[in-house]
Structure 1
Amino acid sequence: MSLGSSLATAMTALRANQAALSIVSSNVGNAQTPGYVSRTVNQVAEATGDVGSSVRVTGVNRSLDQFVQSQLRSETSGGAYADQTASVLTQLQSVYGTPGAAGSLETAFSNFTTALQSLSTTSGSASTQISAARAAQSLAQQLNATTQGIQTLRSNMEQDLNISVGQANAAMNQIAQLNTQLQSMTTNDPAAANLMDQRDSAIDQLSKLMDVRVSTNGSNQTTIYTSNGVELVGLQASQLTFNSQGTLSANSQWNANPAQSSAGTISCKLANGSTIDMIASNSFKSGQIAADLTLRDTTLVQAQTQVDQLAASMASALSDQTTAGTAAPAALAPKAGFDLDLSNVLPGNTVNLTYTDAATNTQHQVSIVRVDDPTVLPLSNATGANPQRIGINFSGGMASIVTQLNAALGSANLQFSNPSGSTLRVVDNGAAATTVNAASVTKTATSLANGSPQLPLFTDGASPYTGSISSAGTQFVGLAGRITVNAAVLSDPSKLSVYNTSPATQAGDTTRSDFLYNQLTSGTFSYSSATGLGTPASPFKGTLSSYMQQFLSQQSNASTTATQLQQGQDVVVNTLKQKMQSTSGVNIDTEMANLIALQNSYAANAHVMSVVQSMMNTLLQAQV
């Protein structure tokens, strides 16, 4: 190698040292910068003359472990889901109140039953009647407040979704813009490193909101997909929209059919112009958006159903009168069954049948519900529902009722007829194929002094609660938010004891107060599987207090489990962040070691240049 070549090689080495020093300086200066990935200089050797090689800087490498990065994004999405779920379920516990503490749902119920017990033991004194009425009102108000708390949480989810969609759009637009800037750059282009850091940070932000799949091609272009394959970002960004409904109520429910939906939905307008309903297509499985959707449309809806069921069961327990049918005339033999009085059956009231299929020896239960709105018929039943619900329109009179029932249950070998007036007769077909075991009618008491202990103590606003069903919805939905104490009882608490006017209820008669107390503390009822307890085929059955304790315990356990999951997820995310930092972040000790090595290399190359210069001077002097 000539002296000139040696000098040139030393010069290229010095330039390489300067480039490496610049990178070390950049690494040290950005050691605390979020999203900054440590860099190293990419150097290659080049032949120089017959002997030796010079050095050339070809670009900058980002010290990025893409596998760890992918894991971190996935777990970050899961962590955001766990954080949001745990936070909201903790807030839900505050809505119910601490068991046994003042202001809790459980305490309000206990105070009311205690007041009713006192009403019986004091033979219905005026002061205990007033106390019982006030305790009933406090319980109704606690149910109202519980509903308000649940719906406030749902409304918060609606607002969070609106904010999250805006953040997601901002991140996707940034990724698309950075893709455009990076389109003509290679991955080791020094100018590309900062842009790729920015792109990775935008993808990280998006991964907190939703679970995404990331693919980068050889042209340094990153494409973002949802877990089910919807393209969010390519050369262009898709656009998410959310039609926020603002404040939600118990009747605000999301539906895939926009005409039936009263909660906001998320749509995605793709780069090709087509639009996808992201909720209907199940595009969100993790991240904060998925958590908000699950909480808004499932978790908190079920919580509302649970308190609505408590309110409905409580109202029905005190107002429902169930009358067993009388045996059908013996002259109908070999047919046998029952006669039922359908007078005063209100929408939502039921005819209850139990029959046995002789071929399989299987007993069936049927609940025939008065539904006068034809737009909601037929009623849907969950698979294996027990009892089976059949909706019948009573508005056409007894002849229409009989026709509808024969059409619905004739295949079960049951026969319906109307022998007179408002009497409904149900019998088997006389062929021993079916046995009608029992039949009864459940009606809602609407009078405070009807000669029976039942009374409409708790009402739906000013209307009796019957469980009616119409195109406007089921009376059951949101009842806990509307339930109140009958205004006539609040104005005259003696109605808690007086159940008849002719003859007048005698002073000290505790028939009604005993009935109310026993229904609320000892009565056994069946609860909808929509509450999350039991199944359609085997619904949860128990007293009102056992039902309340069951769903409160379920919600408490769910909150505890969510908190534990959040803590576990935090450990995983933090571990991956540390691993990411160790592989891709700036290590000051390493940079200081690199700095010393560069200093020594720079000095050595400078010395080479000095020696070459000295040798060239000696050569020139020798020639002279």
Structure 2
Amino acid sequence: MSIARALSNALTGLSATSRGTETVAANLANVMTPGYARREVALSPQSLGGNFGGVRVDGIIRHVNAGLLAEARGAAASRSDASTRVAHLRQMEQVIGLPGEAHGLETALSRFQAALSSAAARPDDELRLAEVAHGAVALAGRLNAASNAVQAARTEAEQAISSEVALINSSLDRVVYLNRRIAATQAEGHDSSSLQDERQVVVDRIATILPIQQVLREGSAVALFTREGAVLLDGTSPSRLGFSPVGQVQPEQSLGIGLASLVFNGQEIAPDQLRLFAGGSLGAHFDIRDRLAPRLQNDLDALAVDLHTRLSDPQVDPSLAPGQSGIFIDRAQPAGPVVPLGLASRLAINGSVDPSAGGEPWRLRAGITASGPEPASKSSVLFGLLEALNAPEPPRPGSTFTGTASLAARFATVGARTVSARVEGEGGLAVTSVRYSLLQSRQMADGVDSDAEMQRLLQYEQAYAANARVIQAIDEMLNYLLRM
């Protein structure tokens, strides 16, 4: 072998080891960087005129386990879906309150019943009658607050949908841009690994909102589909999602009645086609707005109409005519026997017995529309009101309750449903979180191994020393020849 060929071989070896050490350094520096994939230098023998001529750097290999990455993205979408639902259910549990909690619905009803019982024992005591009125105000206020909180949660979900749709659109635009840059960079013969890392991060971000499938296309471009088959990106133009939020969601609004669905490439998606975009946080927000929160609103409205109806019965308060409201009224209209939408948000105490509104608490004893105070010792109306609350009655039309039960039992049922939904949701979240964590651990194990990288660094150091020694030997030989 000539001195020139030996020198060429050593120089290519030095260049290869230099690229290798740069790759190892990048791997070690990005062990914990999201979306980073382990790099490795691709080498091949270089021939000159049919003879071995050193080593050639063919490029940088980016190691990604595509199957594991797809699993992790699916788990991320499931965890995002479950965590969004659980956050809502926890919030609703706080709104309803647990038994014994000062702000709970059951506590407000118990205090109202206790005030009624106390007043029935001493109907002549104006202070006790005033306490009944205050208890009624507090109970109506708790139902109002709970209903308003439910609608606030629906409004929050509506705003989250709008934000996530905008994020999906901007992320798809970024993926299109990165597809182009990756193709151009590779065509120029440069390393596109950092661009592919960035694209993986962007796609991972989409995957928490929507469960997606990624398909590799020509030129290292990627196509994206939802898990159910909707095309998000396949080519140079991404699909466009749209959504028109309302300012404040009202109880009577539902999907198709005042509330919008998704718009996909200019076409509004039918309610039964929203499953194409279910499985991530976007689907969870739609479910909160259109199913979970309205179901709780229906329960609250059923409690409100049950409370109103029981205490508006002429058999309980003979001063009332059929259809007249008793202690509680609907601010908008007289409440009928069917559960009216949003009654829980409009329920209020009858002004004729509310001291703060100039009402007269003695009407609780004599009757709401009584012409004058009955004898102070009369307690039949008060006992009738108390018995009406405790009487087992069938569910009102339009409610989801079953069987006969007292009003307290109905309140307890709503509380139990809320707690059960939260517990069930947390169980599902725990399962999805464990799966996600396991897949993340597998990704980490499949990624950069610092021990292996250090061993590779030692190998590069030895190769560098060997090639440097060749160059040093050539230098010594040349110096010796020149001195002859």
TM, length-normalised to structure 2? 0.89
1:5-36 Cα distance to aligned partner (Å, 9 max, x none): 44333332222112212222322343443322
Distance change in 2, residues 1:544/1:229 (3 Å): same
1:525-562 Cα distance to aligned partner (Å, 9 max, x none): 2255753x5xxxxx343221112111211111211222
Displacement, 1:572?
A: 2.2
Quick check: which has more Rg, 1 or 2?
A: 1
Q: Which residue of 1 aligns with 2:292?
A: 299
Q: Which residue of 2 aligns with 1:509?
A: 378
Displacement, 1:78?
A: 1.0
- The reply to whether residue 600 of structure 1 matches residue 462 of structure 2 is yes
In 1: Cα distance, 2:41 partner to 2:67 partner: 22
Q: Which residue of 2 aligns with 1:206?
A: 206
Which runs of 5 or more structure 1 residues have no equivalent in the other structure? 256-260, 323-444, 469-474, 534-538
Higher strand share: 1
Q: Which residue of 2 aligns with 1:162?
A: 162
In 1: Cα distance, 2:38 partner to 2:188 partner: 13
One-letter amino acid of the structure 2 residue matched with residue 308 of structure 1: D
In 1: Cα distance, 2:296 partner to 2:348 partner: 20
One-letter amino acid of the structure 1 residue matched with residue 436 of structure 2: V
One-letter amino acid of the structure 2 residue matched with residue 294 of structure 1: D
Q: Which residue of 2 aligns with 1:558?
A: 421
Higher helix share: 2
Please state whether the residue corresponding to 2:171 is helix, strand or coil: helix
Please state whether the residue corresponding to 1:138 is helix, strand or coil: helix
Q: Which residue of 2 aligns with 1:412?
A: none
Q: Is the 8 A contact 2:337 2:396 kept in 1?
A: no
In 2: Cα distance, 1:510 partner to 1:77 partner: 61
Q: Which residue of 1 aligns with 2:273?
A: 281
Please state whether the residue corresponding to 1:526 is helix, strand or coil: coil
Displacement, 1:601?
A: 0.3
In 2: Cα distance, 1:81 partner to 1:188 partner: 42
Distance change in 2, residues 1:514/1:7 (3 Å): same
Displacement, 1:189?
A: 5.6
In 2: Cα distance, 1:300 partner to 1:307 partner: 11
- The reply to whether residue 493 of structure 1 matches residue 355 of structure 2 is no
Q: Is the 8 A contact 2:162 2:245 kept in 1?
A: yes
Please state whether the residue corresponding to 2:237 is helix, strand or coil: coil
In 2: Cα distance, 1:159 partner to 1:126 partner: 49
- The reply to whether residue 589 of structure 1 matches residue 463 of structure 2 is no
What root-mean-square deviation, in Å, do the aligned CA atoms of Structure 1 and Structure 2 show?
A: 3.0
Q: Is the 8 A contact 2:97 2:415 kept in 1?
A: no
Distance change in 2, residues 1:496/1:555 (3 Å): same
Please state whether the residue corresponding to 2:220 is helix, strand or coil: coil
Q: Which residue of 1 aligns with 2:216?
A: 216
Q: Which residue of 2 aligns with 1:127?
A: 127
In 1: Cα distance, 2:410 partner to 2:328 partner: 18
Q: Is the 8 A contact 1:61 1:188 kept in 2?
A: no
Distance change in 2, residues 1:504/1:82 (3 Å): closer
Q: Which residue of 2 aligns with 1:231?
A: 231
Corresponding residue to 1:483 among 328, 347, 365: 347
Displacement, 1:214?
A: 1.1
One-letter amino acid of the structure 2 residue matched with residue 464 of structure 1: P
Q: Is the 8 A contact 1:223 1:233 kept in 2?
A: yes
Please state whether the residue corresponding to 2:165 is helix, strand or coil: helix
Distance change in 2, residues 1:582/1:297 (3 Å): same
Distance change in 2, residues 1:485/1:187 (3 Å): farther
Q: Which residue of 1 aligns with 2:148?
A: 148
Alignment of 1:410-449 (within 5 A): 449=319
In 1: Cα distance, 2:200 partner to 2:370 partner: 79
In 2: Cα distance, 1:11 partner to 1:588 partner: 28
Alignment of 1:261-280 (within 5 A): 261-269=257-265, 274-277=266-269, 280=272
In 2: Cα distance, 1:142 partner to 1:18 partner: 71
One-letter amino acid of the structure 1 residue matched with residue 452 of structure 2: T
Corresponding residue to 2:388 among 494, 512, 519: 519
Corresponding residue to 2:329 among 459, 465, 468: 459
Please state whether the residue corresponding to 2:264 is helix, strand or coil: strand
Q: Is the 8 A contact 2:79 2:433 kept in 1?
A: yes
Please state whether the residue corresponding to 2:56 is helix, strand or coil: strand
Which shows bigger deviation, 293-302 or 111-120? 111-120
Q: Which residue of 2 aligns with 1:12?
A: 12
Corresponding residue to 2:405 among 517, 534, 542: 542
Q: Is the 8 A contact 1:318 1:454 kept in 2?
A: no
In 1: Cα distance, 2:229 partner to 2:261 partner: 19
Distance change in 2, residues 1:101/1:621 (3 Å): closer
In 2: Cα distance, 1:513 partner to 1:453 partner: 20
Please state whether the residue corresponding to 2:11 is helix, strand or coil: helix
In 2: Cα distance, 1:161 partner to 1:248 partner: 13
Displacement, 1:109?
A: 0.4
Please state whether the residue corresponding to 1:44 is helix, strand or coil: strand
Which runs of 5 or more structure 2 residues have no equivalent in the other structure? none
Alignment of 1:289-368 (within 5 A): 289-320=282-313
1:280-303 Cα distance to aligned partner (Å, 9 max, x none): 522222221111111111111111
One-letter amino acid of the structure 1 residue matched with residue 326 of structure 2: P
Distance change in 2, residues 1:508/1:18 (3 Å): same
Q: Is the 8 A contact 2:362 2:373 kept in 1?
A: no
In 2: Cα distance, 1:25 partner to 1:201 partner: 21
Q: Which residue of 2 aligns with 1:249?
A: 250
1:376-411 Cα distance to aligned partner (Å, 9 max, x none): xxxxxxxxxxxxxxxxxxxxxxxxxxxxxxxxxxxx
1:47-69 Cα distance to aligned partner (Å, 9 max, x none): 45566463211111112111111
Please state whether the residue corresponding to 1:55 is helix, strand or coil: strand
In 1: Cα distance, 2:25 partner to 2:321 partner: 93
Q: Is the 8 A contact 1:108 1:138 kept in 2?
A: yes
Displacement, 1:265?
A: 2.9
Displacement, 1:503?
A: 11
Please state whether the residue corresponding to 1:463 is helix, strand or coil: coil
Displacement, 1:610?
A: 3.9
Alignment of 1:70-149 (within 5 A): 70-123=70-123, 125-149=125-149
Distance change in 2, residues 1:522/1:187 (3 Å): farther
Which shows bigger deviation, 494-503 or 88-97? 494-503
In 2: Cα distance, 1:601 partner to 1:275 partner: 62
Q: Which residue of 2 aligns with 1:417?
A: none
Distance change in 2, residues 1:155/1:462 (3 Å): closer
Distance change in 2, residues 1:453/1:78 (3 Å): closer
Q: Is the 8 A contact 2:261 2:268 kept in 1?
A: no
One-letter amino acid of the structure 2 residue matched with residue 590 of structure 1: A
Q: Which residue of 2 aligns with 1:429?
A: none
Distance change in 2, residues 1:610/1:110 (3 Å): same
One-letter amino acid of the structure 2 residue matched with residue 155 of structure 1: T
Percentage of pairs with the same residue: 24
Distance change in 2, residues 1:168/1:319 (3 Å): same
1:441-493 Cα distance to aligned partner (Å, 9 max, x none): xxxx9x9724899962211116321147xxxxxx6110000011111232122
Displacement, 1:312?
A: 0.7
